């Protein structure tokens, strides 16, 4: 069956209006030389079981949670706090007398009486207890859905607490229903960090200073990336935000270059730092051997120092000599396998390179909460319509900071490098996907089951919401939001860890003993969306 026919087969049971909506969110990659357009960053069709997360999950769970020296108070029911407590496995180390609160779950634990009479008094008490017991440098307050509905003024509480205790207290109106998905939460969190934290420090970094933006140290990814960069000779000012801290983030404006790992969660911050402080950003990918090597060479080109370039090649050779034989072994075992990738951020793109290094073909991929530029490249940004949900997110404007602004490259050098490396540019996922592969935005559970039934992939990479559904279909499923208690998967040693886990998963005989649902009973068509529209 042709790939376009497969897409039509998956869509055929939808009512007319739903068919039109979902059709715009799917495409088959064609090598026509023209830009292929895909619909993205729109609200999920009501009634469809989406795999997306909420605005609060993006704000507290993804961006703020990994900042280790801050107390992160969740103002809402305890379930919300528990949901974002350690589930993404954002690891952090305590160095010297540095504070690390990641093992603690802070919540106001709102009850029914608080919903009726208001929870501000309880929030003030929680802040007081946090200050007296933990003495943090800063506190964040994240609002969940009930708080927005009843109208607790967390901003006023934060301002009062900041004056009272003399520390930074930031409020985040990130109620779960705001925005299209967790991407809105990223934006809300990052805007506040840009506004209130970045630029507040004055610690001068060492030579070759970089920030790693959009890296959350899942399973220790950030540590492996840092190991390689420091081995070459780079100085990492801060990671935003995996194993990051409030104290180091204050000095982010002092770096010579920003490395953007996850484009969707952080690209606008990289742009604002460049506009305000003059620091260029480079799109990087530390997932996969070939991508890691390409990124390291791009960084060396940016700094244009013969000694740094020479050391870069030495480290690449040292790392690869330990891996080439064993990675060849795993490639021989995995060659010819097929995969689905449906992950947030840039991972659905980045992991295709790591899979390709192992001989695995990605036949279908998509994002949970991407914008069109994540698929098509930044050149389409002027054509993207402003989303209706943007009214929920502050439009942050920055101006050149005359005191801290630095010119890192001459205009001529800047333009030259843009032709050689992805400097201030991301080309999107579509360009690098194989012809005839399928792209789906905001994949839902019906489409997941239908595509798996037809294309029969050997492995499926996604999040927790669909992991076990896929395994019950007899397909190996790997969680890339938390790595299923494994990792790291980044850089050189991470690629080997991933290959080992993939080999074990694909060759687990248990999948052969699972009977797929469609082999025992017809798919429940009535579970889709009822009635014609």
Catalytic residues: 54, 57, 88, 186
> Which positions ≥6 away from 493 have C-beta within 8 Å?
224
Crossing angle, helix 263-277 and helix 182-196, to 10 degrees? 20
Find, among 294, 308, 192, 180, the residue nearest to 256 by Cα. Answer: 308
Bridge-based pairing of strands 70-75 and 106-107 is parallel
* 324-329: long-range contacts, CB 8 A cutoff, minimum separation 24: 326/496, 326/499, 327/289, 327/357, 327/358, 327/495, 327/496, 327/499
Q: How many CB atoms lie within 10 A of CB 137?
A: 16
Residue 142 CA to its chain's centroid (Å):
19
Q: What is the DSSP-derived secondary structure letter of residue 58?
A: I
Q: What is the DSSP-derived secondary structure letter of residue 385?
A: P
Torsion angle defined by CA atoms of residues 369, 374, 375 and 376, in that order, rounded to the nearest 10 degrees: 140
Find, among 426, 458, 465, the residue nearest to 442 by Cα. Answer: 465
Q: What's the Cα-to-Cα distance from 507 to each of 335, 362, 465, rounded to whole Å?
A: 13, 18, 23
Q: List residues bridging with 236 in a β-sheet.
A: 210
φ/ψ of 402, rounded to 5, equals -60, -30
CA 81-118-143 angle, 5° bins: 35
> Which positions ≥6 away from 342 have C-beta within 8 Å?
51, 348, 364, 365, 366, 367, 368, 440, 443, 448, 460, 461, 462, 463, 466
φ/ψ of 106, rounded to 5, equals -105, 125
459 vs 475: CA distance, rounded Å: 6
Find, among 293, 436, 298, 422, the residue nearest to 364 by Cα. Answer: 436
């Amino acid at each position: 069956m042709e790939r376009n026919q497969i897409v039509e087969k998956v869509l055929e049971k939808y009512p007319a209006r739903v068919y039109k909506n979902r059709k715009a969110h799917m495409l088959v990659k064609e090598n026509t030389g023209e830009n292929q357009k895909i619909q993205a960053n729109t609200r999920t069709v009501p009634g469809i079981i989406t795999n997306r997360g909420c605005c609060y999950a993006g704000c507290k769970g993804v961006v703020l949670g990994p900042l280790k020296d801050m107390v992160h108070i969740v103002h809402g029911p305890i379930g919300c706090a528990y949901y974002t407590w350690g589930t993404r496995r954002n690891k952090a180390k305590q160095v010297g007398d540095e504070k690390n609160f990641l093992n603690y779950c802070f919540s106001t634990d709102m009850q029914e009486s608080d919903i009726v009479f208001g929870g501000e008094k309880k929030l003030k008490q929680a802040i007081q207890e946090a200050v007296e017991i933990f003495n943090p440098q800063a506190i964040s307050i994240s609002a969940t859905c009930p708080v927005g509905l009843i109208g607790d003024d967390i901003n006023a509480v934060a301002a009062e607490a900041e004056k009272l205790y003399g520390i930074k207290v930031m409020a985040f109106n990130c109620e779960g229903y705001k925005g299209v998905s967790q991407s809105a939460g990223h934006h809300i969190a990052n805007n506040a960090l840009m506004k209130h934290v970045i630029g507040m420090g004055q610690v001068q970094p060492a030579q070759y200073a970089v920030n790693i933006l959009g890296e959350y140290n899942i399973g220790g990814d950030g540590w492996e990336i840092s190991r390689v960069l420091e081995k070459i000779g780079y100085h990492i000012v801060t990671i935003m935000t995996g194993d990051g801290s409030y104290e180091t983030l204050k000095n982010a404006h002092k770096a010579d270059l920003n490395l953007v790992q996850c484009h969707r969660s952080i690209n606008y911050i990289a742009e604002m730092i460049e506009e305000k402080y003059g620091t260029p950003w480079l799109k990087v990918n530390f997932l996969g051997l070939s991508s890691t090597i390409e990124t390291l060479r791009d960084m060396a080109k940016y700094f244009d120092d013969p000694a740094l370039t020479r050391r870069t090649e030495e480290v690449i050779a040292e790392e690869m000599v330990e891996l080439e034989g064993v990675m060849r072994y795993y490639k021989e075992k995995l060659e010819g396998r097929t995969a689905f990738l449906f992950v947030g951020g840039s991972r659905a793109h980045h992991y295709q390179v790591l899979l390709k290094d192992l001989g695995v073909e990605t036949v279908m991929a998509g994002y949970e909460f991407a914008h069109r530029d994540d698929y098509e490249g930044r050149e389409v940004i002027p054509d993207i319509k402003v989303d209706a949900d943007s009214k929920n997110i502050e439009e942050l404007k920055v101006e050149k900071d005359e005191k801290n602004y630095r010119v890192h490259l001459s205009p001529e050098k800047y333009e030259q490098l843009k032709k050689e490396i992805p400097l201030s540019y991301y080309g999107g996922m579509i360009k690098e996907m194989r012809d005839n592969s399928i792209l789906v935005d905001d994949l839902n559970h019906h489409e997941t089951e239908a595509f798996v039934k037809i294309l029969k992939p050997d492995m499926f990479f996604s999040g927790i919401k669909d992991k076990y559904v896929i395994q019950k279909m007899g397909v190996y499923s790997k969680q890339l939001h938390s790595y299923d208690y494994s990792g790291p998967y980044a850089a050189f040693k991470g690629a080997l860890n991933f290959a080992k886990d993939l080999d074990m998963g694909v060759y687990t005989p248990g999948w052969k003993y699972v009977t797929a649902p469609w082999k025992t009973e017809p798919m429940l068509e009535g579970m889709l969306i009822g009635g014609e529209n």
